[in-house]
Structure 1
Amino acid sequence: MKKSKLLLGLSFFGVLGLVLVAADHIDAPAVQGGTSDITDFYSFQGSNTNNLVFVANVKGLLSPTATADAAFDENVMVEFNIDNNGDNIEDLVIQAIPRNGKMYFFGPVAPSASGTSSAVMTSNPLGSVTISQYGTPAVISVENGANLFAGPRDDPFFFDFGQYSEIIAGNAGSFNNPGTDTFAGSNVMSVVVELPKSMLGGSGTLNTWVETKRK
């Protein structure tokens, strides 16, 4: 990868973070509707049990007609955080930054600083992938032992928001089985990294979370 093509080197500042498997589809006005708005974060063992998968879904509630024009904001970085010693502070980060139709990945590497500001770790490139387009086959890049993807996907999160509202209002006491999938037919923009566990350090439980950071 020719790093000279990337006009990076600026700091990014955190605007949102989610811990563990979480969902947050309706967010504050400052980030709602953009790719700094995280809808879901998933971290799980891959079908290859030697691997761990990280998924950040952003820019939720996209209708099929809006998805074709949806794009990642080039001023927003997605940063996966890994704590491998149990102190709830990131020991490693994986950074994903869009540029000119591609998503560039860096890490996993120790960050220059922990917390809400980050420098782009351009000296530790992991790989890049062409951002997939809506209605076309998914483009997956395999580089340096990692599988990389970025692009639109069907929203996998299931939630019956109507029944939830009835419960909150005191009109119902439980969810229905199976209930209504509020997010059926809507899409998200996804960033996916699958890589060997051996690249993440530690020998016990890993704590993981994701942030979006704006330049």
Structure 2
Amino acid sequence: MELRINRRSLVALGVAGALTASSLVLLRASTSTASSHREAPLIAGDPRNDNTDVYAFVSPDKTGTVTLLANFIPFEEPNGGPNFYTFDTNSRYNIKIDNDGDAVPDVTYQWSFRNEDKRGDSTFLYNNGPVTSLDDPNLLFRQHYTLKRITAHGTRTLVADGTVAPSNAGPASMPDYATLRNQAIHRIPGGNAFAGQSDEAFFVDLRVFDLLYGGNLSEVGQDTTKGYNVHTLALQVPKDDVALKGDANRNPVIGVWSTVDKWSPRGYVQVSRLGQPLVNEVVVPASLKDAFNSLSPDKDAGIPAVVKRVTSPELPRLVEGVYGVKAPKIPREDLVEIFLTGIAKGNGPIKADLNSQSLNKDAGKLRPSEMLRLNMCIPVTKEPNRLGVLGGDPQGFPNGRRLGDDVVDIAIQAMEGAALTGRLVPALAAGDKVDSNDKPFLAQFPYIPLPSSTSVNQPVSGS
């Protein structure tokens, strides 16, 4: 299979080369950084800045827009008072868009937060009575945010003093949480913005880390994240607002990732980065996880230690050792497409142009880089397939990411070579047997379900 999208330039950048001194410097710089669902060592101690998931999809009910979501703070226990969960006021949260293929952001949406705390020395309570609106005096702690749109042409404030939807303290405190959620949706030109608590929509059996589902696929079928909440930043914007030259028809592909910049004595330092799901969990080795998340995507292809983890991944070797499913031959050009360039028609059995930057007529030379890529011109699927592209649904992951895409099963199949053959690997076809979220997704923005107020730790029947 020939990789037609700048494969030679990728090889020249060091796919098979040795680490240079400059590469080592990049990998060792800013080692106080980390990202995603506790998968990098240092971010486990900084959950407010831990970016758990990024989603990007054409809005199903407003197809002239795209919806972008970034979630933070993994494993929020709903009853985690009296100090409930908040965004970090010392950080800037970003969703970044590359629309010309150089792996440098062309549009950045940036949130910053401030606290309004009226508790003082009078009470420990988050609220001292039922909260029926965001400005209810019974709500004693709330967060506000500023949302900016940053481009090479300047900075524009989209929301000057937005109110964050509070943590769901329970039915006595917040008898109609849906109303609070709706009040926290702010209108912006051509779309909407939201910041606040949501259901943890990422569904997975995390016993995959117990020697790959117990070593015999006995540990599957349990949604580890069920019942937990996260904090969500969400945007709905016109397609042309993020497209190259403002023309989504001519330039339909965007690259999307999220970062957090935390204030330090050296100024703001990037402490979180997330594009495609599971990259830092199952692609990047432990020694590189913190450093990888300090990098900007344009650095990815210049670091052979990172690229090698794509062309010669660890997971298929582990699956072969545990389950006897033979690992595909290396180098894995199919994974270079999936992770670094975007899948393109003619390079393999998937006969569709999905998210190759080459589709943008005005784009320059592609810089291979890890990010979530979305082709905004692919129509919304009436009956989505949870396996996305591998399930015959071109609107699904890895063409962007919808809330219902089963990214764990998709990623395992991709690692095992499904994109090479165009068929699922039968031995692993059942995946982790967690095929959907426990709560239905909403029909309107921000689509992600309301947060739970019920403790994850429920009594066991008969105990």
What is the CA–CA distance in structure 1 between the aligned matches of 2:218 and 2:63, rounded to whole Å?
36
How far does residue 214 in structure 1 lie from its aligned partner after superposition? 0.7
What is the CA–CA distance in structure 2 between the aligned matches of 1:174 and 1:90, rounded to whole Å?
43
Specify which of 189, 192, 207 is matched with residue 255 of structure 2.
207
TM-score by length of 1: 0.76
Specify which of 37, 42, 54 is matched with residue 41 of structure 1.
54
1:134 alignment counterpart: 167
TM-score by length of 2: 0.37
Q: Which has the higher helix share?
A: 2
Do 1:16 and 1:213's aligned partners in 2 also have CA atoms closer than 8 Å?
Answer: no
Do 1:25 and 1:61's aligned partners in 2 also have CA atoms closer than 8 Å?
Answer: no
Do 2:64 and 2:238's aligned partners in 1 also have CA atoms closer than 8 Å?
Answer: yes
1:19-30 correspondence to structure 2 within 5 Å: 24-30=37-43
2:76 is aligned with what amino acid? Answer: L
Do 1:24 and 1:38's aligned partners in 2 also have CA atoms closer than 8 Å?
Answer: yes
How far does residue 124 in structure 1 lie from its aligned partner after superposition? 1.1
What is the CA–CA distance in structure 1 between the aligned matches of 2:44 and 2:206, rounded to whole Å?
21
What is the CA–CA distance in structure 2 between the aligned matches of 1:33 and 1:186, rounded to whole Å?
18
Unaligned 5+ runs, structure 1: 1-12, 18-22, 112-120
Q: Which has the higher strand share?
A: 1
Unaligned 5+ runs, structure 2: 1-29, 116-142, 169-176, 245-250, 264-463
Do 1:154 and 1:188's aligned partners in 2 also have CA atoms closer than 8 Å?
Answer: yes
Specify which of 99, 118, 122 is matched with residue 84 of structure 1.
99
How far does residue 126 in structure 1 lie from its aligned partner after superposition? 1.3
CA distance change for structure 1 residues 180 and 173 in 2, over 3 Å: closer, same or farther?
Answer: closer
Do 1:77 and 1:214's aligned partners in 2 also have CA atoms closer than 8 Å?
Answer: yes
User: Equivalent residue of 1:66, what SS?
Assistant: coil
CA distance change for structure 1 residues 104 and 183 in 2, over 3 Å: closer, same or farther?
Answer: same
What is the CA–CA distance in structure 2 between the aligned matches of 1:154 and 1:40, rounded to whole Å?
12
Do 2:213 and 2:219's aligned partners in 1 also have CA atoms closer than 8 Å?
Answer: no
1:1-215 correspondence to structure 2 within 5 Å: 15-16=33-34, 24-30=37-43, 32-47=45-60, 48-66=62-80, 69-100=84-115, 101-110=143-152, 123-128=155-160, 129-135=162-168, 136=177, 137-138=180-181, 139-162=184-207, 164-168=208-212, 171-173=215-217, 176=220, 179-202=221-244, 203-215=251-263
CA distance change for structure 1 residues 30 and 181 in 2, over 3 Å: closer, same or farther?
Answer: closer
Do 1:82 and 1:207's aligned partners in 2 also have CA atoms closer than 8 Å?
Answer: yes
What is the CA–CA distance in structure 2 between the aligned matches of 1:167 and 1:149, rounded to whole Å?
39
Do 1:27 and 1:37's aligned partners in 2 also have CA atoms closer than 8 Å?
Answer: no
How far does residue 149 in structure 1 lie from its aligned partner after superposition? 0.7
Do 2:34 and 2:42's aligned partners in 1 also have CA atoms closer than 8 Å?
Answer: no
How far does residue 55 in structure 1 lie from its aligned partner after superposition? 0.8
1:5 alignment counterpart: none
CA distance change for structure 1 residues 29 and 15 in 2, over 3 Å: closer, same or farther?
Answer: closer
How far does residue 174 in structure 1 lie from its aligned partner after superposition? 8.0
Do 1:108 and 1:199's aligned partners in 2 also have CA atoms closer than 8 Å?
Answer: no
Do 1:154 and 1:187's aligned partners in 2 also have CA atoms closer than 8 Å?
Answer: yes
Q: Give identity over the alignment, percent.
A: 24
User: Equivalent residue of 1:206, what SS?
Assistant: strand
What is the CA–CA distance in structure 1 between the aligned matches of 2:45 and 2:56, rounded to whole Å?
23
How far does residue 72 in structure 1 lie from its aligned partner after superposition? 0.9
CA distance change for structure 1 residues 204 and 174 in 2, over 3 Å: closer, same or farther?
Answer: farther
Do 1:154 and 1:185's aligned partners in 2 also have CA atoms closer than 8 Å?
Answer: yes
How far does residue 40 in structure 1 lie from its aligned partner after superposition? 0.8
What is the CA–CA distance in structure 2 between the aligned matches of 1:54 and 1:169, rounded to whole Å?
31
Do 1:107 and 1:125's aligned partners in 2 also have CA atoms closer than 8 Å?
Answer: yes
User: Equivalent residue of 1:42, what SS?
Assistant: strand
Count of aligned residue pairs for this structure pair: 185
User: Equivalent residue of 1:95, what SS?
Assistant: strand
Higher relative contact order (CA 8 A, sep 6+): 1
Please identify the structure whose Cα radius of gyration is greater.
2
1:4 alignment counterpart: none
1:20 alignment counterpart: none
